[in-house]
Amino acid sequence: MALALTAGAGPAAAQPDYGPMVDSPCTFEQAMAAVNTENPMAARYLNQSPPNIQFLQVFLSSPREERVSLLNQIKDNQGADQALPVFRQMLTSCVNY
């Protein structure tokens, strides 16, 4: 899921608002609790993908500047347009877990 994040294709695409994701105070455990509770289908996909779990762990243990860089590195990955809203929701609502 996280590896599939995108900002859009082509030079005309606007930079997405990464703020809710890069400013998330959540731990990996909180993020996983949020996605498992709120989006079980996405959670199943995430749990079956060790690279995506690893990305999420690295992302959440990184400072803000590095988080922006990580998102920019994977923004053109296939499936990113479907994953971005899930990732944003997970990293916004995780404060409740």
The pLDDT profile of the chain, 97 residues, written as one tens digit per residue, is 455 543 333 444 456 688 999 999 999 999 999 999 999 999 999 999 999 999 999 999 999 999 999 999 988 899 888 888 899 999 999 999 9
User: Does a structural domain hold residue 56?
Assistant: yes
Write down the pTM of the prediction: 0.80
Are the C-beta atoms of 30 and 56 separated by less than 8 Å? no
The domain in which residue 71 lies consists of 18-96
How many separate domains does the chain show? 1
Are the C-beta atoms of 23 and 64 separated by less than 8 Å? yes
User: Does a structural domain hold residue 10?
Assistant: no
Are the C-beta atoms of 67 and 18 separated by less than 8 Å? yes
The predicted pLDDT at position 10 comes to 40
